[in-house]
């Protein structure tokens, strides 16, 4: 007989979940209505019923190893039908928020970005940083500071190079923290799925090529189309808004990269080839950027409306975390569009401050990627990938090149079926 | 006494078309009746007026209504002071035996049905002719005593005393302990007794005690026990004594069945039995002796409650019973009442507790013996104690097979569930052991959280049950012939209840009502409700005795059995078989009836071999004459006759229901309703056989562990008696198979035709009664 699992409920974990919006967790009495009504739950590993009990029992490590937490899109169906008002949807949201904090490094940043005050402070700090950099840059360019003379060209205030210097350093931190978090998460959910215990005793490790083609790409495709999100019962409108925001990010990210390459590389190599910013309004990249900006604002506004309505209806609960992300994205979009319009109107006294605000918001949003609710981008994608990966590993089709099936659903070496 | 009988035939509801009414009138006039009338709308004010006119103007003093079953439309044709008998032509004749005019046998069928109706008329007439007017029983004392004795001064007894006081009745509240309050006063906190049910409350018992002490209608006697209760409801003679002392008035115990045998297993002689009885009850007065110093009470409420189940030393070994840190819920309560919860082994403050609901591990999911909703709720309550003591890091694990939180207690369960430090899971607790560091390891299999787990705790609490005080102790200490306690309580695990679902509070001793934990495991709130219910039953009892009718369940019955003692042979069957201990006896063994204890079931009448026990309107002679009034053709094999004794409580209503549902049975059967199969005297079987009837069927209630008999033992006794009568019939050359008993529940009306017709087929197979025509 396998070693008996010693259970040590973590009371702090339960309290943490309750504080993060899952205060109803203890009402669950395991009727399983939630798992039945959930459009995404599977027969093999139904959720959110088991997560409710684990959360009640403060089994943090067990939940950390549970990818199902991330397969939930919080449609609220379970909450709507729960006969005891235990609000499983909100509990899973709370668990996710706590998981993000758990994987965040350094923790101080996560704690900072946890409150509205912290976020506003970060925006202000980012703006000050931008101003400092711009001031130093003005010493080099001899442009007037803080309001350069002549028509409004942000280039005069801050060229792409110092911006890149600023943002690439944030990127480095974000990428480091993100990868670290995702790897730890991957390790935990692999362990939770019992994948570390093959008969060979080795962990299943993917080889990059097949992994990308067979697991990552299908997951990304699913995310890009929101195929699964759209199944969520209560939230068709939410999926649309979310899809718009996602695609606007992709568009804006792409044009930013293009502009970066153009301005940082090509413009320096070929100073007269017309790679200067700002781009003219009919430039395809500019058109794409403007479309992206409009989609971002429209999408986030849809999400805001939906969240307001569903919160009022009681289908979902909204926490500070939820509103921070919505308003931060909204601020990025609106400040960006405002900066562009004011630039075109050539009102220097307004344009530069708005530009600084925009950069501050973007920097904060960017920085919060691994630390705030924004991190669902990382962990949900990882969970999607892991789901199909784990299924194949268990079936002996991936990872080890196994001949023998690893059956059952295991936890820390113990079959828990 | 000759009566002037008015006979009325109802011709509505198709009776007039189905039967030859003129011939029925002829039968009645042929029996010497002068007033015979028919009416198509008899059950109407006009019909009632017609009967009333005959009573007023013609001097009619007995009325027979032939029409609808006596169980329906009974209010309109009710004439106080007049004997009223009802023959069921509609249900038992026409509705249950429809004749299709197109059938080729229609004429023969019609003849059968007509004969059936005529027999029911003959039976009704002879019954009324033989019945005597009923005079209500009056107690010897001028007025019955309205005071109530309440045994047990816990929540139930206190509530009962207050309820009685509010209804204007005095009571004596007897408590064994030095203080009132019982277990309810030993709690730190208690489960709520009202909305919103989600939080623990302070024990309500203190308020009850204050109110009882303030009441001038309640006499409290603490440190007191009942030595004996003699006589009968309305006039119980109550002898009290100091707790734990011996008294000459202690109720004597009769010899058990084993004690009546000698070493070789033979029954002791009467002399020796007497000697043995005297030895066994040395120092105690005879049970019939009356204590002149006894107090008088009209009715008794037994609220003696429960005591904690104490596991034996070698019990629950796998749960480490014997380890100082494994305790029962009562022991935990005691610790919690004193202050912060500490570990018995070393006095350390307890941070984690496992509350174990079921001892069976993976083999058996039953809760601890005598567990109930109350023990489940107590575990939740005690989990909360720990959280009160250790709000930061206290962990209470409730490990259950069943979480019993019925009714409104669901809210209590929810309220406690919301506490993050209370962890609940279903699972099999397979082992508890010392973990080597002062605490315990609890192994739980098949948990909801996934698989087999083990927990480290400071303390394990077993949710042991509440054992009724009546399990090993008579408590009421009745000075009755059948002994001081209640009979057959082992059927209910010692709980004091005689027919749980149908008659709550009722015990097998009239005028004594059980309430609270002695009746079943229950919460304080339930006990209080129970106390109110039992008090109302006690008041009802006093009222019934005052009016002179049966207390339960035949509350309309003013009659009681009459003994013709000159012919009594002191065989003691009646005194022993009476299910309610209504009969005492004297030195010689002559029975003494206590009419206010009697429930009028007639079990004594059925038991008496000398046939000297009879009722005014229900006697050996009346029923025997009814049987003899049935016309039995001597030489017609198509006209065999089957006699059915149908219990009035379940079988007869089932027959009515079958008829109303259009079900049909053999027209050769003649049905006589009886109070209980226990009242069927074997003389009637002999009467039936000697008058040439071909078979006798007894339709009665189910008996055994899940008996449905309203008089507890009637159908069971009947079964035994019929086995004996079969033997004596066989010796006369009559097949034993001609007498049969069948059990039918009130809702099994659909079985009725099958039971009757199959038996009829067996009789046809046997052929006519060989005694026919003699």
Please report how many Cα atoms fall inside a 13 Å half-sphere around the Cα of residue B574, on the Cβ side.
33
Alpha helices in B356-430 (DSSP H): 373-389, 409-417
Q: Which residues on B lie below 8 Å from A26 (Cβ)? A: 417-420, 422
Q: What are phi and psi of B591, to 5 degrees?
A: -70, 145
CA-based nearest distance A12→chain B, Å: 9
Q: Rounded CA gap, B645 and B696, in Å?
A: 8
Q: Mention the CATH class of domain B317-458.
A: alpha beta
B415 touches chain A (CB under 8 A): no
- Give the nearest chain B residue to A57 (CA atoms): B423
A322 near A89, Cβ under 8 Å? no
Reported as a pLDDT band with limits 50, 70 and 90, residue B695 is very high
What is the residue-averaged pLDDT of chain A?
A: 86
pTM recorded for the entire structure: 0.86
Mean pLDDT calculated for residue range B625-637: 92
pLDDT at A406 over 80: no
For B191-238, what is each residue's pLDDT tens digit? 999 898 989 999 999 999 999 999 999 999 999 999 999 999 999 999
pLDDT at A409 over 60: no
In percent, the amount of chain B with pLDDT more than 70 equals: 99
CA-based nearest distance A317→chain B, Å: 18
For residue B171, count CB atoms less than 10 angstroms from its CB and return exposed for 0-12, middle for 13-18, buried for 19 or more. buried
Mean pLDDT calculated for residue range B409-424: 92
CB contact under 8 A, B395 and A414: no
Q: Which residues on B lie below 8 Å from A52 (Cβ)? A: none
pLDDT (0 to 100) of residue A210: 78
The beta-carbon neighbor of B423 closest among A9, A415, A416 is: A9
CB contact under 8 A, A11 and B451: no
Reported as a pLDDT band with limits 50, 70 and 90, residue A402 is very low
The beta-carbon neighbor of B455 closest among A7, A14, A415 is: A7
Check residues B63 and A390 and name the one with the higher pLDDT: B63
pLDDT (0 to 100) of residue A196: 57
CB contact under 8 A, A11 and B421: yes
**Which range among A245-259, A399-413, B85-99, B507-521 shows the weakest confidence by mean pLDDT?**
A399-413
Reported as a pLDDT band with limits 50, 70 and 90, residue A158 is confident
Q: Rounded CA gap, B494 and B309, in Å?
A: 13
Q: Rounded CA gap, B478 and B253, in Å?
A: 10
pLDDT (0 to 100) of residue A152: 87
Fold match between domain B148-251+292-307+468-547 and domain B317-458: yes
Please report how many Cα atoms fall inside a 13 Å half-sphere around the Cα of residue B278, on the Cβ side.
7
pLDDT (0 to 100) of residue A267: 79
Three-state DSSP at B342 gives strand
Tokens of A311: 């919160």
Mean pLDDT calculated for residue range B157-176: 98
Q: What are phi and psi of B166, to 5 degrees?
A: -65, -30
The beta-carbon neighbor of A5 closest among B395, B418, B451 is: B451
pLDDT at A275 over 90: no
Beta-bridge mates of residue B425:
B399
B423 touches chain A (CB under 8 A): yes
Check residues B613 and B636 and name the one with the higher pLDDT: B613
pLDDT at B755 over 60: yes
Going by C-alpha positions, the residue among B216, B147, B149, B224 that lies closest to residue B179 is B224
Q: What are phi and psi of A207, to 5 degrees?
A: -95, 140
Q: Rounded CA gap, B304 and B182, in Å?
A: 9
Q: How many CB atoms lie within 10 A of CB A3?
A: 10
pLDDT (0 to 100) of residue A363: 94
B173 near B209, Cβ under 8 Å? no
Mean pLDDT calculated for residue range B386-400: 96
What is the residue-averaged pLDDT of chain B?
A: 94
Q: Rounded CA gap, B242 and B289, in Å?
A: 21
CA-based nearest distance B397→chain A, Å: 10
B212 near B170, Cβ under 8 Å? no
Q: What is the domain partition of chain B in residue ranges?
A: 1-135, 148-251+292-307+468-547, 252-286, 317-458, 562-613, 618-774
Q: Which residues on B lie below 8 Å from A414 (Cβ)? A: 451
The beta-carbon neighbor of A5 closest among B418, B419, B453 is: B453
Beta-bridge mates of residue B224:
B242
Tokens 């009757």 belong to which residue?
B756
CA-based nearest distance A304→chain B, Å: 31
pLDDT at A411 over 60: no
A390 near A384, Cβ under 8 Å? no
Mean pLDDT calculated for residue range B466-486: 96
Q: Which residues on A lie below 8 Å from B393 (Cβ)? A: 11
Going by C-alpha positions, the residue among B659, B618, B645, B763 that lies closest to residue B701 is B645
Give the number of beta-carbon pairs within 8 Å between A and B.
60
Q: Rounded CA gap, B471 and B238, in Å?
A: 22
Tokens 């069943």 belong to which residue?
B402
Q: Rounded CA gap, B488 and B478, in Å?
A: 15
Q: What are phi and psi of A92, to 5 degrees?
A: -65, -40
Residues of chain A with CATH 1.10.1060: 1-103
A107 touches chain B (CB under 8 A): no
A79 near A315, Cβ under 8 Å? yes
Q: How many CB atoms lie within 10 A of CB B752?
A: 25
Domain B618-774 sits in CATH at 3.40.50
B214 touches chain A (CB under 8 A): no
pLDDT (0 to 100) of residue A204: 66
The residues, any chain, with a CB within 8 Å of residue A66's CB and separated by 6 or more, are A47, A50, A51, A54, A189, A192
Cα–Cα distance list, A70 to A89, A224, A381, B321, B450 (Å): 11, 17, 9, 45, 20
Q: Length of chain B in residues, anyone?
A: 774
For A178-226, what is each residue's pLDDT tens digit? 999 999 999 889 888 877 555 555 566 667 777 888 889 999 999 999 8
Tokens of B15: 């009776």
pLDDT at B286 over 80: yes
pLDDT (0 to 100) of residue A201: 52
Reported as a pLDDT band with limits 50, 70 and 90, residue B587 is confident
CA-based nearest distance B339→chain A, Å: 24
Q: Rounded CA gap, B699 and B592, in Å?
A: 31
Domain B562-613 sits in CATH at 3.30.70.20
B393 touches chain A (CB under 8 A): yes
Q: Mention the CATH class of domain A1-103.
A: mainly alpha
Burial A58-93 (b: 16+ CB within 10 A, else e): bbbbbbbbbbbbbbbbbbbbbbbebebebbbbbbbb
Cα–Cα distance list, B329 to B175, B379, B462 (Å): 24, 7, 6
CB contact under 8 A, B395 and A11: yes
Q: Specify the fold of B1-135.
A: Rossmann fold (3.40.50)
Check if the interface score ipTM surpasses 0.95. no
CB contact under 8 A, A54 and B449: yes
**Which range among B139-148, B305-314, B759-768 shows the weakest confidence by mean pLDDT?**
B139-148
CA-based nearest distance B549→chain A, Å: 52
Mean pLDDT calculated for residue range B293-308: 96
CA-based nearest distance A14→chain B, Å: 6
In percent, the amount of chain B with pLDDT more than 90 equals: 87
CB contact under 8 A, B423 and A56: yes
B508 near B486, Cβ under 8 Å? yes
Q: What are phi and psi of B759, to 5 degrees?
A: -65, -40
Q: Which helix (H) or strand (E) holds A218?
A: helix A217-225
Question: Tell me, what DSSP letter sits at residue B699?
Answer: E
Q: Which residues on A lie below 8 Å from B410 (Cβ)? A: none
Domain B148-251+292-307+468-547 sits in CATH at 3.50.50.60
Check residues B139 and B298 and name the one with the higher pLDDT: B298
Q: How many CB atoms lie within 10 A of CB B356?
A: 28
For B724-736, what is each residue's pLDDT tens digit? 888 888 888 899 9
For every residue of A244-263, DSSP letters joined together read HHHHHHHHHHHHHHHHHIII
Tokens of A11: 């009371």
């Amino acid at each position: 007989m396998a070693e008996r699992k010693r259970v040590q409920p973590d009371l702090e974990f339960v309290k943490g979940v309750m504080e993060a919006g899952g205060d109803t967790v203890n009402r669950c009495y395991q009727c399983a209505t939630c798992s039945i009504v959930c459009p995404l739950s599977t027969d093999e590993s139904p959720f959110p019923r088991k997560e409710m009990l684990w959360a009640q029992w403060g089994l943090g490590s067990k939940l950390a190893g549970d990818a199902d937490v991330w397969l939930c899109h919080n449609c609220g169906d379970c909450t709507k039908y729960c006969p005891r008002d235990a609000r499983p949807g909100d509990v899973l949201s709370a668990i996710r928020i706590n998981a993000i904090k758990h994987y965040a490094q350094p923790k101080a940043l996560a704690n900072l970005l946890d409150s509205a005050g912290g976020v506003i402070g970060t925006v202000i700090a980012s703006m000050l940083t931008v101003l400092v950099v711009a001031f130093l840059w003005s010493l080099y360019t001899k442009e007037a500071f803080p309001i350069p003379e002549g028509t409004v060209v942000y280039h005069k205030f801050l060229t792409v190079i110092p911006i890149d210097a600023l943002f690439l350093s944030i990127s480095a931190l974000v990428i480091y923290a993100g990868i670290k978090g995702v790897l730890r998460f991957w390790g935990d959910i692999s362990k939770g799925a019992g994948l570390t215990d093959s008969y060979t005793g080795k962990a299943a490790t993917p080889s990059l090529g097949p992994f990308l083609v067979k697991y990552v790409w299908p997951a990304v495709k699913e995310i890009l189309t929101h195929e699964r999100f759209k199944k969520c019962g209560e939230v068709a409108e939410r999926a649309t808004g979310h899809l718009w925001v996602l695609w606007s990010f992709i568009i804006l990210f792409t044009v930013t990269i293009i502009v970066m390459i153009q301005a940082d590389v090509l413009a320096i190599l070929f100073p007269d080839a017309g790679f200067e910013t700002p781009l003219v309004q009919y430039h395809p990249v500019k058109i794409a950027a403007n479309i992206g900006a409009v989609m971002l604002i429209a999408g986030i506004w849809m999400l805001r409306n939906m969240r307001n309505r569903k919160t009022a209806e009681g289908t979902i609960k909204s926490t500070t975390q939820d509103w921070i992300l919505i308003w931060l994205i909204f601020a990025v979009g609106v400040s960006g569009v405002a900066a562009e319009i004011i630039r075109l109107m050539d009102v220097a006294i307004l344009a530069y401050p708005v530009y600084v605000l925009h950069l501050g918001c973007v920097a904060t949003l960017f920085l919060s990627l691994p630390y705030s609710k924004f991190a669902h981008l990382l962990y949900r994608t990882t969970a999607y990938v892991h789901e199909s990966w784990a299924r194949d590993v268990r079936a002996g089709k991936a990872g080890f090149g196994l001949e023998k099936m690893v059956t059952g659903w295991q936890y820390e070496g113990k079959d828990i079926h | 006494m000759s009566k002037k009988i008015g006979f009325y035939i109802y011709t509505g509801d198709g009776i007039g078309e189905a039967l030859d009414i003129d011939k029925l009138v002829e039968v009645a006039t042929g029996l010497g009746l002068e007033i015979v009338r028919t009416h198509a709308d008899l059950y109407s004010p006009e019909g009632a007026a017609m009967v009333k006119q005959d009573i007023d103007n013609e001097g009619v003093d007995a009325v027979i209504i032939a029409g609808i079953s006596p169980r329906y439309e009974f209010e309109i044709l009710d004439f106080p002071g007049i004997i009223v008998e009802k023959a069921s032509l509609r249900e038992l004749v026409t509705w249950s035996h429809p004749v299709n005019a197109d059938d080729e046998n229609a004429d023969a069928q019609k003849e059968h049905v007509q004969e059936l109706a005529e027999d029911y008329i003959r039976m009704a007439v002879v019954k009324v002719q033989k019945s005597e007017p009923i005079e209500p029983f009056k107690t010897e004392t001028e007025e019955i005593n309205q005071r109530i004795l309440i045994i047990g001064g816990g929540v139930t007894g206190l509530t009962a005393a207050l309820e009685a006081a509010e209804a204007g009745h005095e009571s004596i509240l007897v408590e064994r302990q030095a203080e009132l309050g019982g277990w309810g006063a030993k709690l730190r906190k208690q489960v709520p007794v009202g909305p919103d049910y989600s939080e623990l409350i302070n024990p309500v018992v203190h308020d009850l005690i204050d109110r009882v002490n303030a009441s001038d209608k309640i006499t409290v006697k603490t440190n007191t026990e009942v030595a004996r209760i003699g006589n009968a409801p309305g006039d119980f003679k109550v002898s009290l004594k100091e707790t734990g002392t011996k008294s000459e008035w202690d109720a004597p115990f009769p010899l058990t069945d084993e004690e009546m045998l000698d070493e070789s297993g033979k029954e002791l002689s009467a002399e020796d039995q007497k000697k043995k009885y005297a030895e066994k009850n040395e120092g105690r007065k005879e049970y019939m002796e009356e204590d002149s110093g006894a107090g008088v009470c009209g009715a008794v409420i037994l609220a003696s409650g429960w005591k904690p189940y104490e596991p034996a030393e070698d019990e629950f070994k796998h749960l480490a019973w014997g380890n100082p840190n494994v305790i029962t819920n009562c022991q935990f309560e005691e610790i919690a009442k004193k202050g912060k919860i500490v570990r018995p082994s070393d006095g350390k403050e307890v941070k984690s507790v496992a509350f174990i609901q079921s001892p069976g591990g993976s083999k058996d999911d039953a809760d601890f013996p005598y567990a109930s909703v109350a023990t489940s709720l107590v575990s939740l309550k005690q989990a909360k104690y720990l959280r009160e003591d250790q709000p930061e890091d206290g962990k209470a694990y409730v490990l259950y097979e069943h979480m019993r939180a019925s009714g409104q207690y669901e809210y209590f369960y929810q309220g406690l569930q919301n506490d993050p430090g209370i962890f609940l899971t279903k699972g099999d607790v397979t082992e508890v052991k010392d973990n080597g560091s002062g605490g315990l390891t609890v192994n739980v299999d098949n948990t909801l959280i996934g698989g087999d787990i083990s927990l480290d705790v400071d303390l394990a609490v077993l949710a042991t049950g509440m054992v009724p005080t009546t399990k090993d102790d008579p408590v009421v200490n009745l000075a009755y012939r059948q002994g001081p306690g209640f009979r057959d309580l082992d059927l209910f695990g010692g709980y004091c209840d005689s027919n749980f679902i149908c008659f709550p509070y009722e015990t097998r001793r009239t005028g004594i009502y059980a309430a609270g934990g002695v009746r079943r495991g229950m919460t304080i709130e339930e006990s209080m409700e129970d106390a109110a219910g039992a008090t109302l039953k006690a008041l009802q009892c006093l009222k019934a005795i005052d009016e002179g009718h049966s207390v339960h369940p035949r509350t309309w019955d003013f009659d009681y059995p009459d003994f013709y003692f000159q012919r009594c042979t002191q065989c003691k069957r009646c005194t022993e078989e009476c299910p309610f201990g209504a009969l005492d006896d004297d030195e010689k063994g002559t029975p003494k009836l206590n009419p206010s204890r009697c429930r009028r079931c007639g079990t004594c009448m059925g038991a008496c071999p000398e046939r000297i026990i009879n009722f005014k309107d229900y006697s050996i002679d009346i029923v025997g004459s009814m049987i003899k009034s049935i016309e039995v053709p001597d030489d017609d094999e198509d006209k065999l006759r089957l006699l059915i004794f149908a219990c009035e409580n379940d079988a007869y209503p089932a027959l009515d229901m079958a008829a109303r549902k259009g079900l049909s049975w053999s027209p050769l059967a003649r049905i006589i309703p009886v109070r209980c199969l226990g009242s069927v005297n074997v003389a009637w079987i002999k009467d039936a056989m000697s008058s040439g009837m071909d078979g006798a069927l007894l339709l009665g209630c189910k008996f055994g562990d899940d008996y449905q008999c309203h008089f507890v033992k009637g159908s069971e006794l009947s079964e035994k008696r019929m086995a004996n009568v079969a033997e004596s019939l066989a010796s006369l050359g009559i097949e034993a198979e001609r007498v049969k008993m069948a059990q039918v529940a009130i809702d099994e009306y659909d079985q009725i035709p099958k039971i009757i017709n199959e038996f009829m087929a067996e009789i046809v197979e046997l052929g006519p009664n060989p005694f026919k025509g003699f």
